[in-house]
Amino acid sequence: MLGIWPTIILGVALVLVGLASVLVLRGEEQGTTSFIEQMTLSTLSQRWVRPKSFTRIEGVKHISELAHLWRNEQVIAEGIEKVELAHPRSRSFAGQLRTWPFFNQAPGQRAVCLEIVRLLDREGQCPSVVDVQGDVEAAWEQNTYRILAKTTLLDHSLNVAEQVVKLLSDHQAWHVIPDTMVAALGHDLGKLKSARGSLYALGEHPLAAGAIISGIPGFKELSRKEDILRAIKMHHKLTEGLLGKTLKKADQQARQQELERCVGVEQTEEITESNEEEAKEKPPQLSSREAVQRVQADIYGETIDPTPGRAEIAPPQRMDISRWFDAAGYLAMLKPYINRVEGRRFLAFSMADGLVYFQVKVLEEVARKQAQEAGCMEIATMAQDDSTMRQVLFSVVQQLRQQQEVIATHLIKTTYFGGYFLVTRKFNTKMRGYYTPFHAEAFGSIAEMERAKPDLLRDILDVSPYTGSDQES
């Protein structure tokens, strides 16, 4: 009898297990159906919030702990897109970001770009240039500021972004556009008024921009965030990689377009106001080639070439200047130009190695003054583009070279009155300029010159002959 009971018990157990399985399956089926058909979004939203009484059970997760699995960049972007933008151009550009196929596989970059556009739309009506000691733009001339400040930061940033699309599309490098677009829109965020604390602390707007963009929602999740930051921080210096080089070129081309646009506007204004008396008080307009070149030089990080097409111009010939030229008097008239800054413009600067570099414009200006004092009006009144002036300058330098020995002859060719030099400034910013190098002894103590040097010129770290091999790429 006892042997039958185990069999009976086993059979009952199997029956109970089968009934339990059926009940569970039916319950799940009904629960699933009920969830799909009856649960509203408002009800679902309550499930995302973990109750205060929630007790963690090993192997069991509350739905709130799984929220990150549903969070994607596309949802973020869609949320940002719904934010109302105040400026028509911001709205137009945001619309392009939504439709550009480059971002179909890059929702994270699109989301970050939209966040930056939102920020620029709110704060980007400030000038697109800054004047902070130590910044690369602090060396720009006042005229450059006057012109480029007419373009707002919002417009400049969008101009650069549009140039990025054009440049990379021309090279069929569409896959690079999303990351480069982030860099383009964010490269000058350090110029926002709300960022002035970071700007003054770091001293350079690219560094301040890097600090700001790092705080943009979604930026830290981008896979190439370090490349983007490097491109932003170096966009005024020696760049590297396709992303960095494209950003720098796009920035320069955008500035060139802004310059041309402003020049056209100012020329129109000049014609309109030509008969008004107050027009006489206006600062010089950018209607001359020299003025435009000067702004271009600031944009591209170079000083101005003395003449166009220099490679095709034959070396000048020496001429007789004995009627008006006095070497000692000429050097005395040059001295006041050394380390003198007018606005952000300088025409001559000393270096601690005992050399003084003069722009050709100074040599010409002093030659005209001395010729006028001597009554030689054909030199004093010579036209700016008169090729004979090159002969005058060459003759002056040759006489100072041979008789006074004040020219640093080892740095320039004997057949020219100057040479091209690469000027390295603080933060590795490089400029190319045409100078005539003098020995400082001709003007007094180099120590006194260096002590009197203004901060703008103290940023110059090195000057070396320019050969073309070390040109920025």
Residue 245 has pLDDT above 60, yes or no: yes
Residues 315 and 219 in one domain: no
Question: Domain range holding 326?
Answer: 310-465
- Decide if pLDDT at 349 tops 60: yes
Look at residues 450, 94, 156, 180 and name the one whose alpha carbon lies nearest to residue 299: 156
Query: Are residues 233 and 101 part of one domain?
Result: yes
For residues 105 and 222, state if they share a domain: yes
Confidence of residue 39 (pLDDT cuts 50, 70, 90): low
Question: CA torsion angle for 435, 439, 441, 445 (degrees, to 10)?
Answer: 60
Q: How many CB atoms lie within 10 A of CB 83?
A: 13
pLDDT at 288: 47
Same domain, 111 and 253: yes
Candidates 237, 251, 214, 248; CA nearest to 128 is 251
Mean pLDDT of 406-410: 92
Please report, to the nearest 10 degrees, the dihedral formed by the alpha carbons of residues 234, 239, 244, 249 taken in order.
Answer: 100
Query: Nearest to residue 192, comparing CAs of 135, 137, 136, 128?
Result: 128
Overall number of domains in the chain: 2
Answer positive or negative: Cα dihedral of 291, 296, 302, 306. Answer: negative
Same domain? For 243 and 318 the reply is no
CA 54 to chain centre: 52
Please indicate, yes or no, whether residues 216 and 347 belong to a single structural domain of this protein. Answer: no
412 domain residue, yes or no: yes
* Residues 317 and 381 placed together within one structural domain of the fold: yes
Shared domain check, 317 and 248 = no
CATH assignment of the domain containing 137: 1.10.3210
Among 228, 261, 294, residue at a domain's last position = 261
254 and 314 belong to one structural domain: no
Residue 99 lies in a domain: yes
Give yes or no for a contact between 429 and 235, defined as CB atoms under 8 angstroms apart. no
Same domain, 399 and 461: yes
Give the pLDDT confidence score for residue 25 in this predicted structure.
54
d(CA 223, CA 227): 9
The pLDDT of residue 435 is above 90? yes
pLDDT at 22 over 80: no
Per-residue pLDDT tens for 114-171?
999 999 999 999 998 877 666 666 666 677 778 888 899 999 999 999 999 999 998 8
Same domain, 209 and 337: no
Q: How crowded is the C-beta side of 378, counted as CA atoms within 13 Å?
A: 5
Q: Is 62 a domain residue?
A: no
- Looking at residue 372, its pLDDT comes to 92
CA distance 2 to 6: 8
Question: 21 lies in a domain?
Answer: no
Long-range pairs, 446-452, Cβ under 8 A, ≥24:
446/350, 446/352, 446/354, 449/338, 449/339, 449/350, 449/356, 450/350, 450/352, 452/339
Indicate whether 239 and 328 sit together in one domain.
no
* DSSP string for 360-401: HHHHHHHHHHHHHHTT-HHHHT--TT-THHHHHHHHHHHHII
Q: Is residue 452 part of a domain?
A: yes
Q: Is residue 22 part of a domain?
A: no
Question: Which H or E run contains 356?
Answer: strand 355-359
Residue 292 lies in a domain: no
pTM, rounded to two decimals: 0.51
pLDDT at residue 50 greater than cutoff 80: no
Q: Which residues of 269-291 are buried (b: 16+ CB within 10 A; e: fewer)?
A: eeeeeeeeeeeeeeeeebeeeeb
Q: What is the mean pLDDT of residues 234-254?
A: 86
Of the listed ranges 77-86, 343-352, 443-452, the least confidently predicted one is 77-86
290 within a domain of the structure (yes/no) = no
